[in-house]
């Protein structure tokens, strides 16, 4: 009886300790168990994932799950991507500090913050106005000074700010928007989820080398669809 009570007590305190783990501890555990344990090995990406406070990018009610191994709802039928996918896409871009990066699909602003931790300037476009405005406010509050946000249809890219060393699209397309390919700098890399149906999509890496465009299929993924502005 006494032994049983001790076991119950130990289990209870272990659970409490876990629930009360602070965010830095949870974030470090996320990096180890979700990223390093898989195939994320790029130190630049890992450092950014260690720094950005993911819990600041989710609704209050989701904060306790901010470092879980999956996507989370951010309202307006949209999601913040799974940490592993954010890291995978970031790693594929082979970012350098001086780079200019375009993101289509600001959502919560989390991916933009990860990029901005690595590079000089990030430009990000969101089609759902309330999400874009909220992300802009949040990024300013958190002190990100090298991210420019815009509300609009990212199908056309951001011609005034092109060319970009890297482009990341965080909503799934059927066909890669031609304007995005046009706005990719020489030596540039774009990562984008592509698929004909809602169920089978792949991350595709697009590169421009000596003027030649190449595409390469990477991993299968689930993503919210790329939408178009209502005419």
Active site residues: 81
Q: 53: how many CB neighbours lie within 10 A of its CB?
A: 13
For residue 130, give the nearest of 63, 77, 190, 56 by alpha carbon.
Answer: 77
Question: Residues 7-36: x/- map of binding to ligand SAH (CB under 6 A)?
Answer: ------------------------------
Report if residue 91 touches ligand SAH, rule: CB under 6 A.
Answer: no
Helix axes 129-141, 110-118, angle to 10 degrees: 40
Give the DSSP per-residue string, 194-229: E-SSSS-EEEEEEEEETTEEEEEEEEEE--PBP---
CB 146 within 8 A of CB 109: no
Q: By C-beta, is 69 or 186 nearer to ligand SAH?
A: 69
Looking at 34, 90, 121, 170, which residue binds ligand SAH (CB under 6 A)?
Answer: 170
Residue 127 interacts with ligand SAH (CB under 6 A)?
yes
Question: Which of 126, 164, 180, 193 lies at the binding interface for ligand SAH (CB under 6 A)?
Answer: 126
When binding is defined by CB under 6 A, the residue of 111, 117, 149, 183 that contacts ligand SAH is 111
Q: Which stretch binds ligand SAH (CB under 6 A): 91-99, 148-156, 181-189, 202-210?
A: 148-156
Q: Which of 46, 125, 184, 192 binds ligand SAH (CB under 6 A)?
A: 125
Per CB under 6 A, does 122 bind ligand SAH? no
Looking at 79-87, 183-191, 197-205, 211-219, which segment touches ligand SAH (CB under 6 A)? 79-87
Alpha-helical runs (H) found in the chain: 2-19, 23-30, 43-51, 83-92, 110-118, 129-141, 178-182
Q: Directed axis angle between helix 43-51 and helix 83-92, to 10°?
A: 140
Work out which of 154, 157, 193, 195 binds ligand SAH, going by CB under 6 A. 154
Residues that bind ligand SAH in the complex, under the rule CB under 6 A: 78-81, 104-105, 107-108, 110-111, 125-128, 131, 153-155, 170-171, 224, 226-228
């Amino acid at each position: 009886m006494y032994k049983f009570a001790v076991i119950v007590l130990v289990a209870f305190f272990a659970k409490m300790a876990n629930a009360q783990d602070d965010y830095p501890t949870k974030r470090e555990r996320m990096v180890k168990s979700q990223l390093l344990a898989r195939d994320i090995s790029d130190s630049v990406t890992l450092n950014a994932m260690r720094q950005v406070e993911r819990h600041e990018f989710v609704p209050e009610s989701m904060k306790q799950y901010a470092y879980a191994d999956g996507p989370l709802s951010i309202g307006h039928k949209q999601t913040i991507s799974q940490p592993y996918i954010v890291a995978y896409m970031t790693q594929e871009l082979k970012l350098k500090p001086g780079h200019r990066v375009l993101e289509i699909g600001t959502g919560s602003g989390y991916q933009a913050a990860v990029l901005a931790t690595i590079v000089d300037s990030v430009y990000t476009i969101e089609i759902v106005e309330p999400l874009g405005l909220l992300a802009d406010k949040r990024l300013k509050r958190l002190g990100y000074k090298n991210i420019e946000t815009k509300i609009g249809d990212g199908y056309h890219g951001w011609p005034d700010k092109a060319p970009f060393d890297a482009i990341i699209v965080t909503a799934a397309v059927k066909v890669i928007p031609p304007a995005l390919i046009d706005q990719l700098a020489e030596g540039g890399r774009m990562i984008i989820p592509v698929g004909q149906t809602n169920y089978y999509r792949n991350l595709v890496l697009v590169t421009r080398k000596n003027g030649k465009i190449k595409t390469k299929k990477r991993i299968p993924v689930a993503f919210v669809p790329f939408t178009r502005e209502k005419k």
